[in-house]
A and B are shown apart, each in its own frame.
Chain A
Amino acid sequence: MGEAVTAVLAGGLRLQRAQVDLTAHNMANQSTVGFRAQRPVASEHVYARAPASVSVVRLAAAMVDETGGRQTVTGAPLDLAIDGEGYFQVAGPDGAPLLTRAGQFERTAAGAIVAPDGAAVLDEGGAPLAIPADAASVDIARDGTITADGQPVGRVGVVTTEGALVRRVGARFAAEGPVVPVDAPRVRQGVLENANVDPIGELTRLIEASRRYEMLQGMVEKEDGRVGNLIETLSRVR
C-alpha cells in the first residue's frame, strides 16, 4: 500500500511543478505582443485497480487561453491587431503557414511585409504580401485591405481553425486542421494586442501551487515516518 501512496504523492508534486513552470512562462511573456497564456488541465490516471482502486493525477494538457489581450495604440502603420476571433498568417520555416495574433509587422527593403524575425506575412490564400517600394502612405482598412498611395495592393489574411493549435516560437501556432478565412474580420491599424496574461491570476495560481507543493511534501515526510514506524514495530515482533 505504501508504494501506491508514494506514487500518488509524487504525481501531485509533479503536477504542482508543471503548474509553476507554466505560470513562469506566462509571467515571462507578459510583454510579448500577441502571446496567448497557457492553462494546465489536470486529469485522473488510474494507477491500480486491485486490491483497491488508486489513481494519480497528471498534467493532461496545456490549453491555449483564447481571451483577447489588452490593446495598445502605437500609431505605426504596420502594427495590426484583430478585434474578436481570427489569426494573422505568417510563413513558417518549412513553408507551411503559421497562425499568430502578434501583428507587429515591418517592411523589408524590397517592400515585403514581414514579422520582426523576417517571416513573410500572408494573405487569405497564403501568398506573401508586399507594398510597392515607392509607396509613401499605407492604409489598412477594417477588413484588412491594404491601400498604398490610394491603390489597393492586397488584403491581410485573417483566418481561424477548428483543429488543435501547436505552439511555435514567436507567439505562433501551427494548425493541425484546415484553416478557413474569418467571414468579417475586424483589423485595427496602429494598434498592437498585448499578451493576455493576467498577472494577478498567475500570482494566485503560483501561491496556490507552492502551498500545495509544501502540503504534499509534508505528507511525503509523514508517510516516510509511518513506514519507518511500521518497520521498527515489525522488527521487534519475534
Chain B
Amino acid sequence: MQALKIAATGMSAQQTRVDVTSNNIANMSTTAYDRRRASFADLHYQVLRAPGTLSAQSGERLPVGVELGFGVGTVAVAVDRRQGALRATGGELNVAVEGDGYFEVELPGGGTAFTRDGAFQLSADGVVVNQQGFTLADAITVPQDARAIEISADGTVTAVFEDGARIEQLGEIALARFVNAPGLTALGDNLFLETEASGPALRDQPGIDGRGFLRQGFLEDSSVDVVAEITELIEAQRGYELNARVLAAADEMLGATARIR
C-alpha cells in the first residue's frame, strides 16, 4: 500500500506552493520583483499490466493497463517575467526599463550581475552605483559641479551645468537581454547571474529587440498580484488538507489490516 507515501509527496508539493506564494507576497513591494511559480510533475509509475498486452482470458489486446503512480514532485520554480507598473518617483537617478532589458552592475568580487531595479545613487566620488553600492557596468561618473542629470530613453546620460549653459555627455547605459530570462539565477538583492540556461547577456542600446526604453524618474513596481497570490494560498492550503485526509484514510486502513487476526 503506497497511499501513505503518495499522500506525503502531495503534502510536500502543496507546502512548496505555500512557500513560493509567501515569498511572492513578501515581495509585493520589492522594486521590479517578478513573481515565482512552482510547477509540479507526476512521479514514475509501477506498471502492473501494460496496455496493449494480450489478455490471458480472451486473447484480445488490452485497451488500457494498470499503472499505479507514486505521487508528485516539484520540477521547477519558474520566474514569471512580466512588466510591472511604473511608479513616478521623481528621483533623477531612478530609471525604469519598459521592456525585457536588464542593467548590468559590477560585483565587488569580479564578474557582473543583472538587475531591473533602477534605483541608482551616486557614490562619494560621483560614480553611479546601485542600492548595494555596486558600480553600473557602463561606468558613468558625474562631475561634482553638475546641476542635473538627464537620462534619455535610449540610454544617453548627459550632465547639465550652471543653469543649462553647458551640457556634457557622460556616457550611455546599455541594457542586457537574455534569450531565456527565466533561466537567470537569483542572487538576492534584486540581482541575477547569467547561466547556461539563460544564455549569454546580449548587450545593446535600450529599445533594440525588445530591450525596452529607459524611463528616468520612474521605478518598476513588483509584478505580484496579491489577489491572485491569496487565491493560490487558499488553494494550496485546501490541497494540503485533502492530501492529509488521504494520509489519515490510508492510516486507518493499515490499522484495520493490523487488526485482522
Q: Which residues of A contact B (CB under 8 A)?
A: 13, 16-18, 20-25, 27-33, 35, 38, 41, 59-64, 74-76, 102, 104, 106-111, 116-117, 133-134, 136-137, 163-171, 176, 199, 202-203, 206-207, 209-210, 213-214, 217, 220-221, 224
Contact = CB atoms under 8 A, between A and B. Distances in A.
Interface in B39-73: 39-45, 47-52, 61-72
Interface stretch (B112-120, B213-221, B241-249): B241-249
Interface in B3-20: 3, 6-7, 9-10, 13-14, 17
A136 to B, nearest CB: 3
Interface residues of B, number: 73
B243 A27 contact: yes
B183 A20 contact: no
Contacts of B183: 106, 108-109
A24 B197 contact: no
A25 to B, nearest CB: 4
B66 A59 contact: yes
Given A28-B10, A170-B75, A176-B51, A199 B199 contact: no
Nearest to A214: B256
Given A59-B48, A169-B44, A217-B256, 4 more contacts: A28-B6, A30-B10, A109-B179, A167-B45
B68 A62 contact: yes
A164 B51 contact: yes
A28 B200 contact: no
Interface of B: 1-3, 6-7, 9-10, 13-14, 17, 37, 39-45, 47-52, 61-72, 75-76, 78, 80-82, 100, 178-180, 182-183, 196-200, 202, 209-210, 235-236, 238-239, 242-243, 245-246, 249-250, 252-253, 256-257, 259-261
Nearest to B244: A27
Question: Mostly helix, strand, loop or mixed at chain B's interface?
Answer: mixed
30 contacts: A17-B1, A20-B3, A20-B249, A24-B71, A24-B246, A25-B42, A25-B68, A27-B242, A28-B13, A31-B235, A38-B67, A60-B66, A61-B64, A62-B64, A64-B64, A75-B80, A76-B82, A106-B78, A109-B183, A109-B196, A117-B75, A133-B202, A134-B209, A164-B64, A169-B44, A171-B41, A176-B51, A203-B242, A203-B245, A209-B253
Contact of B180 (A106, A137, A209): A106
Contact of A25 (B71, B80, B210): B71
A133 B199 CA distance: 10
A31 B246 contact: no
A107 B79 CA distance: 13
A220 B34 CA distance: 58
Contacts of A60: 66
Nearest to A46: B57
